[in-house]
Chains A and B, each alone.
Chain A
Amino acid sequence: MRDDVIGAISTPPGEGGIAIVRISGEGCIEKVSQIFQARVSGKDIQVQRPFSLTLGWLKDEKNEILDEVLVAKMNAPRSYTGEEMVEINCHGGSITARRCLQRVLSTGVRLADPGEFTRRAFMNGKMDAAQAEAVIDIIRAKTDRGLKLAMKQLEGKNSEYVKQLEDCLIEANMLLEANLDFSEDVGELDYDQLRRLLINTRDGIDNMIRAGELGNIYKDGISVAICGKPNVGKSSLLNALLRKERAIVTDIPGTTRDLIEEYININGIPVKLIDTAGIRETSDIVEQIGISKAQQAVKEAELVVFLLDIEAGMTEEDKAIYDYIENKERVIVLVNKDDLMEKNISEEEIEQNFTELRVIRASIKEEIGIQELEDIIEEMVGVGLIDSDNLEFTVSLRQKETLLAGREYIQEAIEAMEEVPLDCLGVDIQNGLARLGEITGRNLKEESIDRIFREFCIGK
């Protein structure tokens, strides 16, 4: 039977706290070890004892940190499924968990079918029938709910769009297949038309994935951390964006000690704002804890607003904080207190230190620059790239995986078009068609055959 490596998120989505990415199947430990770096060097999970927990980071394709995670490894047969297993405890919410899963899938792990973990557990004798049936109930409920959700998603814009993609590929397939099965009736194949249809499908898939990711942002929101040294105006910014006095603001450096999280809506995007303690050297224990929390928040946030005080100037302290931020492309620099006469940060200095970053000159006190910040956040999320009509899209991970798999076949077909005979081309096109069909559950192969008879006059 199928004994490949499967993975899925095993905590209910949307319920905050820790999400677990569960991976099962022979070879899964090796797979995870490719993308995991232990905090303490040498603690590679491959050599760790079974049932140990290892703290470390999940790395993305560019070897940058995705999330700080706790990895548990279990050897067969002493695991939930009875197979070799890894559980990755992600810190971030559902978005991070999804990203982590996606990273895991990129190592060749297959997204588990509903009920597959349970099935394996049962097959391997880890569960009795009553337990298995209890789980089936849950799976059933979940898939039914999932189906309803998927159906709902597929009403509206999504389905229209997928249908367009499918029709495009069906037409390509129809042209090719009619030419193979009924060459005497339909005449020569129009290569240009075929290529055009394939390219349209491919680009359509790309658009759909991009739009879907944005749609997901609209649904799930993003997190924005506000950071900087003490007294630059972080809490003032939080209040200004919230349009209420939420955080305490004083002229005493070190006012904010703990994280303050608030939700707002910026041009339709749900945003989690995180005000943090000003980062500095300190001997105050409470403040120290606050600062390390601030550092963690900065690490995990999708966007970071980095504040400077124009009167105080760019100090070594500022530079140290800035250097600490990973992934600079998610940073927005806000130079605050522009209302003050004394200006110790020059244009050149900004130019030099923050090339290619978005920099806002602002006075939170006078409410200058707030609107600009909101616009930049919206823009950085990427919404501006896409026709706002398509923003109702959301694309689930499974749909995305499926779309990507289909895209790969179509791309291969486009590249091979001149070189291989038509029957080989058909292999890629039919595979692409099968993948797309999985999304809507249509039998696209049958529909192409139907269309051959509808559009060509076949008359043996």
Chain B
Amino acid sequence: MIYNAGSYEVIVIGAGHAGCEAALASARMGCKTLLCTLSMEHIALMPCNPSIGGPAKAQVVREIDALGGEMAINIDKSQLQMRIINTGKGPAVQALRAQADKLEYYREMLKTLLAQENLDVLMAEIQDIETRANRISGVITKTGARYDCRCVIITSGTYLKGRIIIGDVMYDGGPGNQFPAMKLSASLINNGIELGRFKTGTPPRINRRTVDFSKMIEQPGDGRPLTFSFISPKQKKPQLSCWLTHSTPRTHRIVMDNIERAPLFTGVIKGRGPRYCPSFEDKVVRFAHKDAHQLFVEPEGRHTDEMYVQGLNTSLPEDVQIEVLRSIPGLENVRIIRTGYAIEYDYVPPSQLKLSLETKKIEGLFTAGQINGTSGYEEAAAQGLIAGINAALKVQEQEPFILKRNEAYIGVLIDDLVNKEIDEPYRLLTSRAEYRLLLRQDNADIRLTQIGREIGLVDDTRWEIFNRKMESIASTREMFQEVSFTPADEKMTTFLDVRGSARLKDRVSLWELLKRPEIHVEDFENMNWIETLPGEISEQMEIQSKYEGYISKQMEQVRKFEKMENRKLPEDLDYSEVYGLSNEARQRLKDVKPGSMGQASRITGVNPADINVLYIYLEKKRRN
């Protein structure tokens, strides 16, 4: 029996990283929101590696923060270790990475969700979505409750028709042996949404008390008080270490001896898995010449002895997993707590989406996170945030919010999803961003806080902190340009000689001096030419002066890019009516329905002549 259980403006199906951000954004923007989850014990669950951040991902986490999202704040509260990756390779690729206490991460997120105004959390499996005239109208739970709503955001992760595979053992299930969601897929298909199937996997977890760390190399945290969020308090936390070991020729022999029992090679696994996250058996087969692969043993939390074996993701039979583990230095006597597994799941090929993450077929239906063919907590959270914002904007009858490729990694992510043909789980890389030098983790707040404020997700506290920082940057920069030295200045000459830097020929400002690679703000402070600056201010001075040339080179590219980006294409444009398009271009344009001339030009099969033809067509329409 189905009963009417109430109505909401926005309903979010799934409380993973995408769902939590989506629900919080929607509620904070004033929409009456419901968040559904299969299990209250697995909210914001990290089913795989216990870490957040790293190249491209750290930038995303900071962008989420600047827009008023939750991930950065939540990991700052629950981190076990913080480190900066890629130091010395330039500001654009430097990236913060945190080891997370998974349980703590869950608890903190749960607390935030339950305290949020306008937000209800409900443990229920949604089995059906309801539509009327291609518009979403409600959802129905397994227990027969029917909720009316204006918008639905599906963030079901890897749960749709989830299927676990360990050797020849196979069963329906979600990550960590939870219930899968077996019914929702059919409801989506009935509503004209196409589904595909992907696969991913995770390594076994082991008991800390059975590990011999003396055979491994310790990887301590950074020690400095680092945070993802621009507003988290900077305080030192006790740092837990990770441990580096490696596989051995014996490990690889064990894998090869059992390869006919590996589901990846027997054809049992059909869904496509990510190449950047291959299973261990895949690595052994493809890189047969290597006789060792790096493995990191990482803590899963402060209050558990469970540890994660990074690099050993596998769906080999359980007995082989044990044998493999015990062939690794330091793990000779190890005991498994959880067996590694592969999981296959349904996803929505994202070419069915608009840049707002609303489906093209059904108005008011959004999808975000791993259901869109991505992988990674950060990618999921970013999409959740955008979908949450856009669902709320839709309820408020406002234009959708879309970040461009030159504004944020989040823009790159979603633009790629919609325009490219995604045939393996998608992960962000810094090399996917054309304007990488502009999209840094250090300036995410400068890029996006203002926008977040306009949307209504940046509260007064954050806004004030941001404005103070901006003022400080401006005035310090001015001061750096005003304070200058002449070649006659002896203190300066001695300083330059000691530093091995060329002597002055003309009067030179601190700003100009800072452009020299060997000179740093710290030097100015030590020489008492300036007062000691807050770290984030001196960081901006260094980057803005040293990389001015390259940054303006990228800005020039961006200006060209934006001209095309700003030329909008109407959503209802009938491409079969456009005279002079090549057949291939016409078909691709019909499929993708680009929102701007820039997007059209990025579609494979559309060439410059087609773009000119489009311009002419639009002008003709405008005149009539």
Contact = CB atoms under 8 A, between A and B. Distances in A.
Interface in B572-598: 579-580, 582
A113 B604 CA distance: 18
Contacts, number: 143
B89 A140 contact: no
Interface stretch (A12-20, A71-79, A88-96, A131-139): A131-139
B283 interface: yes
Interface residues of A, number: 47
A118 B612 contact: yes
A133 B608 CA distance: 16
B620 interface: yes
Contacts of A180: 55, 86, 89, 93, 430-431
A453 B16 CA distance: 28
Interface in B600-621: 604, 607-609, 611-613, 615-616, 619-620
Interface in B418-459: 429-432, 434, 436-437
Contact of A426 (B436, B580, B613): B436
Given A118-B612, A136-B579, A453 B89 contact: no
Given A122-B616, A183-B86, A177 B431 contact: yes
Given A119-B615, A422-B89, A457-B283, A430 B609 contact: no
B294 to A, nearest CB: 7
Interface stretch (A278-286, A356-364, A443-451): A443-451
A330 B553 CA distance: 41
A420 B276 contact: no
B517 interface: yes
Interface string A239-261: 00000000000000000000000
A421 B430 contact: no
Nearest to B278: A459
A445 B554 contact: no
B465 to A, nearest CB: 27
Interface in B156-186: none
Contacts of A419: 517
Most buried by B among A136, A144, A424, A453: A424
B56 interface: yes
B509 to A, nearest CB: 21
A139 B580 contact: yes
B234 interface: no
Nearest to B55: A181
A136 B613 contact: yes
A48 interface: no
Nearest to A412: B553
Contact of A449 (B49, B85, B431): B431
Contact of B609 (A115, A123, A185, A443): A115
Contacts of B265: none
Nearest to A147: B607
A123 B579 contact: no
Given A118-B612, A122-B619, A143-B607, A424 B431 contact: no
A62 interface: no
A445 B431 contact: yes
Contact of B436 (A173, A182, A423, A458): A423
B91 interface: yes
A119 B93 contact: no
A185 B432 CA distance: 19
Nearest to B427: A460
A460 B287 CA distance: 15
A129 interface: yes
Interface in B541-578: 547, 550, 553-554, 557, 563-564, 567
B599 interface: no
B430 A114 contact: no
B88 interface: yes
A136 B56 contact: no
Contacts of A118: 612, 616
B534 to A, nearest CB: 23
B550 A420 contact: yes
A457 B290 contact: yes
B547 A424 contact: yes
B290 A115 contact: no
Most buried by A among B276, B311, B616, B619: B616
What 8 pairs across the A-B complex have the smallest Cβ distances?
A: A421-B90, A423-B90, A115-B612, A423-B92, A136-B580, A453-B275, A177-B431, A113-B608
8 contacts: A114-B608, A122-B620, A173-B431, A181-B56, A421-B91, A424-B90, A449-B431, A459-B283
